[in-house]
Structure 1
């Protein structure tokens, strides 16, 4: 029992030291290769921790090897922009000039629901208020609101607050969410009329549509895919 305790304590110290050397990033800010190294280090430590028949050094050496590899890759990324792009990738613009970049969503295997969830976490409840949205290489979303939609502190301006309800999504990737039509107080006939004004004949042709708290419809048509 004492041997297990000592081995666990040693491996714990080695893993914590290795993670501290890797840097002070939060889990959500780790690059893909850094996350892979972190997972592999934890796995390498758990094997000799559970099996006392495996020499302790057989767990420590692979951990130190992974740490050295991670430091080397980080150093290369620091010195070379091209290597950094290959290793970490590039940020992807999901919304540009208020327009949803449908092709980028397909390339990144990113869904509209993922985008809406991250926008809500940033207190943005209407996609129509977004000028630019950039998916960083760490998976975090950076958002630039449209002019006039940036946050202000009402107390500093001596303004009374007005409640603004979140936008209601009514069409996502061609699928009409009928129950949300009632929530948005939008009838099918009104929706069809609004779509025709935008020269859209069917909801199947809509990539995304939502109704804001002001009753205004935000709608974007699907992009036409090129056939080879």
Structure 2
């Protein structure tokens, strides 16, 4: 009887502990979990199962590594907020799979992403044909973001390009500049015209249809 009571107590305690840990680590949808999140979640889940099964082992032996994993995950999350290079290293970057209706097979090969994957994710978004897609972006989470072609011919003429981030956390995105056939010098000149001389003070800058969206970093 004592064994069963111990299992019940451990289950309830670890259930509440995991809820607290996940709340402290921040809200994320399942499809948006980073590699770090996923690894931590799996390890914490495994530790909880082992702790419930091994009733003779002190509970603190499982609680300490679970809390330690939480601290590590929160620390790495804070680092990723400050460092774009760290985010790219851990999470990777989004890839444009379909660009203006044309499939980029090189991007698919780099991501080891095949046509079966593409068609499956398009069907999940109720899109029957690749011909209906203007842009498809494979996000770092593995989800596919899709922008459909406009049906009306007049609307198609007005349809512009995809929003391209050119500056993130004060760092210029050289790859995105290449995508729109622009240079670092061009970007800096355009920003100077608008009164922005220090790129490092810009938190986010995007470009779409000849228009810039610029957000400065918060002052400490």
TM-score (ref. length: structure 1): 0.63
**CA distance in structure 1 between the partners assigned to 2:111 and 2:53 by the alignment:** 38
Partner of 2:142: 139
62, 65, 70: which one pairs with 2:68? Answer: 65
- Report the counterpart of residue 168 of structure 2 in structure 1: none
Q: What's the secondary structure of 1:33's corresponding residue?
A: helix
1:182-223 CA-to-partner distances (Å, cap 9, x unmatched) read xxxxxxxxxxxxxxxxxxxxxxxxxxxxxxxxxxxxxxxxxx
Q: Partner of 1:15: helix, strand, or coil?
A: helix
After superposing on structure 2, the runs of 4+ consecutive aligned residues of structure 1 that deviate more than 3 Å are none
How far has the Cα of 1:92 moved from its partner? 1.0
Q: Provide the residue aligned with 2:59 in structure 1.
A: 56
Whole-angstrom CA distance in 2 between matches of 1:32 and 1:137: 10
Which of 10, 19, 28 pairs up with 2:13?
10
Instruction: State the 1:148 CA deviation.
Output: 2.3
The structural deviation recorded for 1:87 is: 1.6
Which sections of structure 1, spanning at least 5 residues, go unmatched? 150-228
Q: CA RMSD in A?
A: 1.3
Which digits, 9 at most, give the CA deviation of each residue in 1:52-88, with x for residues without a partner?
Answer: 1211011101110110111011101111112111121
The offset of 1:42, in angstroms, is 0.3
Name the CA distance, whole Å, in 2 between partners of 1:36 and 1:45: 14
Q: Which runs of 5+ in 2 are unaligned?
A: 153-220
Match of 2:130 in 1: 127
CA distance in 2, matches of 1:113, 1:56: 46
- Does 1:101 find its partner at 2:101? no
Q: Flag the structure with larger Rg.
A: 1
* 1:39 equivalent among 28, 39, 42: 42
Paired residues, what number?
149
How many angstroms apart in 2 are the aligned matches of 1:70 and 1:132? Answer: 33
